[in-house]
Structure 1
Amino acid sequence: MPTNAARVLLRIRTARDAEARMDADCRAFCDAAPLRLERVACASASAMAYVYLQPMQEVATGDLPALAEAFAQRCDWAGEVLASRLEPVFDVAGASVAEPAAFHYVVEMDPEAGWMPELTRWYDTEHMPGLAAVPGCVRARRFLNQGHGPLSLACYDLVSEETLGSPAWLAVRATAWSDIARPHFMNTRRTIFRVPPHAARTDSRTT
């Protein structure tokens, strides 16, 4: 399917010791279905994982609960599983695209009423291109979550967690336009995930 096709996000409550098995189990699940695994990311401290899937054929919204149930049955470390359709709206390779991604940083938010057009312009023309250009960023993407929300999901594959505190990254976050845009984020979630080692070697550059 084309790279701008819809994705499926599985938001999973996990067992805290699941990280070692997560990548292999997700790949086995996809091998048995018309799905391609794009990214596995886990936050052990909060017992949470995000799994990004690319369907090889159109998946109807009504099919997502069954997909989530099938995943939970296949992966015994998966507790609550919520499946959402993701609409891609931004995707650019980062300054460190040739390096494996060891971390996956996600910022989710609902735009304040009336602010969606302005926030979209800020994301597309300044913020995400700026962060993608920071050394240590492998890839920057944004989706609209058409399921379990929040609506906007911006995600960054990173070589190191330290990228988030680098002077270049902080400079992009500190622009005048950022100061205008960010107060209009609602229901904001910011999560730093680890990428299992095998997934770090294979997923960040495959679309």
Structure 2
Amino acid sequence: MKRFHERDVRRFYDLLQHKSDLGLTQLNVLDGENLIGVGLFDNEDDFVSECSRYNTLGLLQAGVNPRSSHLLDSYGGLQNRIRTLFSDVVSKEDIACVTGVVISEPGQITEAALAYQKDVSVLGDGALFFPMDREIPIENSRPNRTARQIAEWFLGEATLSRIDLTSMVSVPGTSDPEGTWFHPRLQFRKYRPYILDGISESICGERGEFHD
């Protein structure tokens, strides 16, 4: 089995729904637990190209939610290319909006979230990837409030320890540093290319914003 599978990488990028007008896709390279590279991408082809270039050099992880394009004012050298960096450049204040939610504890989701479970993709570690049907704004630049509301809808508990809007996940289709000869790359356990109709409205209401 090959260590790189372009189709899965492109499928993953599609799931992210990071349109260029929403923000940037963060791509990190890790050596064990240590960050060694960061890139910020505004298009699919460059994202896939850098995944291929760095494929066997470390674990590749991408941000679930788009990062603000304002990051390029300070880190223009990271645009559409991975550069060697040993510390992250993104904080929760740099999250542009919510386009997806990854739940690492599927057995604890609420009935509202369970209604969508059969139509979501499952990542290699068993986490559920819930793509929003429309982006959810970070209300009044208050990421903690947004995260608590999302946590309450998915997990029944409005706590920041359960939902991280800056979360990174390993990129399916890229090399697994801990893989074997027969399983050398990360894969989807289940891939579902569906848009989850109504999920964004269910989470934040008809106005597209969170309620007090």
TM-score range, shorter chain: 0.3 to 0.5
Higher fraction of helix: 1
Higher fraction of strand: 1
